[in-house]
Amino acid sequence: MQTIRRAVDADIQGMVAIAEAKRIEYQGYSPVFWRKAPDASSRQEHYFQALLRDPNIIALIAEVEETLAGFVIGALTTAPPVYNPGGPVCLIDDFAVTDPTHWPVIGAALFEAMQREAKGRGAVLIVVVCAQRDEAKRTLLRAVGLSVASEWHVGLL
């Protein structure tokens, strides 16, 4: 059975470990764009600590039998001034699960909890970052009704 709850400081090391595995996976997709910094985990630990104290951040974790199985972090923000979605936006950059087979259940539960919380705090739009080749995550995002609005194309200079 899974539990979704707010992330606390004690969860950060586990969140960083999940993110580190995702960074290694993404680096394989696009070795330059997603190139992992040598000190990525320590930097991310400090970053997550700051995020958990930010009132505009929603950070949730999923536990299965008291073991961290995934997390999602949403930032409530305004859209760039040239766009008008009708209110605040929930931007999700960090969203990962421990195993790709967990996206349909654990990922979906995290997304639904984030969606409820963001909507309850006034957000009208949710934006999720996903690597082009992360098929398991992309499948979930389509299943929950999201569509691709933008893609980034990269090349060396």
pLDDT (tens digit per residue) in 29-74: 888 888 889 999 999 999 999 999 999 999 999 999 999 999 999 9
| Interatomic CA distance for residues 22 and 129, integer angstroms | 13
Question: Would you state the structure tokens that stand for residue 140, as one six-digit string?
Answer: 């979930």
| Interatomic CA distance for residues 12 and 89, integer angstroms | 24
| Interatomic CA distance for residues 49 and 76, integer angstroms | 17
| Annotated domain spans of the chain | 2-143
How many CB atoms are closer than 10 A to CB 134?
Answer: 19
pLDDT at position 82: 87
Is domain 2-143 in CATH 3.40.50.720, yes or no?
Answer: no
Q: What is the pTM assigned to this prediction?
A: 0.94
